[in-house]
Structure 1
């Protein structure tokens, strides 16, 4: 039997970054990244791409109910916000040889 190894992707944004959505239903909106899903190349942005989840009644929640939660957005559909502008990011090595992100627009480290 052949094993399928899932490859984790390098993503240009990190948890805590402020990003702007550039495609999809939430286009133009900005928010902070709550989590990054590297296996599926997606990010969860705080308060954006909300979906409705119907919960069955359980012992913990006897009435069940309907809740709202954030759904993942593909990483290619978000761009990093620096100041008031959206920027592309690149990676370059610093003096110690460690990779760091930088803004391709201003050239400064992010």
Structure 2
């Protein structure tokens, strides 16, 4: 695939799992593993050993989700949408929401 349908800083909604229906911003994307990390979603507890620079304890961090379990949020209707690609008159390839036809990349 030449271009990713989901990128960093995109607003996505979770489709399945314990956080179904939650929305958030993509903070990390691993294209080779098809995984995304979404702010405030899929929070897990990590036990951290104390080091010289940081205190130990139980941290709450975001874990990765599979990209198939999230959908892009339509900028116009705030509903889940699929993403397509268009080529504009000036030759730029941009993403658009298939639900409303609204451009995602500006």
TM-score normalised by the chain length of structure 2: 0.84
The answer (yes or no) to whether the contact 1:9–1:39 under 8 Å persists in 2 is no
Flag structure 1 segments of 5+ consecutive residues without an equivalent.
1-7
Matched residue, 2:80: 86
Give the match's secondary structure for 1:32. Answer: strand
Q: How many pairs were matched up?
A: 102
Residue 9 of structure 1 contacts residue 38 of structure 1 at CA under 8 Å; is this kept in 2? no
Alignment of 1:22-101 (within 5 A): 22-61=15-54, 64-82=56-74, 83-101=77-95
TM superposition shift of 1:97: 2.3
Normalising by the residue count of structure 1, what TM-score does the alignment of the two structures yield? 0.82
Structure 1 residue ranges, 4+ long, deviating more than 2 angstroms after superposition: 8-11
Instruction: Give a deviation string over 1:31-61, Cα, whole Å, max 9, x none.
Output: 1111211121111100110111111122123
CA radius of gyration, larger in: 1
